[in-house]
Amino acid sequence: MTTMLRNRLNEYMRTHGTTNVFIARSIGVSDSLISRFRKGERNLGEKRAQALEKLLESLT
């Protein structure tokens, strides 16, 4: 699930020009965490991953 979510986030951000800051503020985390997650250096954890999934669903 993590890899799929990471790929979905990266694709969304590429196609819509969204920033790490926007995503981070929307789910209540730091922009550096989003950056590291996108690069595969960190995981979000269950609750944050669920929040990101809900955000992506609401934006698409």
> How many C-beta atoms lie closer than 10 Å to residue 48's C-beta?
16
Q: What per-residue confidence (pLDDT) applies to 5?
A: 95
Percentage, residues of the chain above pLDDT 70: 98
Q: What per-residue confidence (pLDDT) applies to 60?
A: 81
Number of residues written out for the chain: 60
**33 with 42: CB under 8 angstroms?**
yes
DSSP 40: T
The structural domains of the chain, with segments of one domain joined by +, span 2-59
What CATH number has the domain spanning 2-59?
1.10.260.40
Instruction: Say whether pLDDT at 1 is over 90.
Output: no
Q: What per-residue confidence (pLDDT) applies to 41?
A: 95
Q: Average pLDDT for residues 6-28, to the nearest whole number?
A: 96
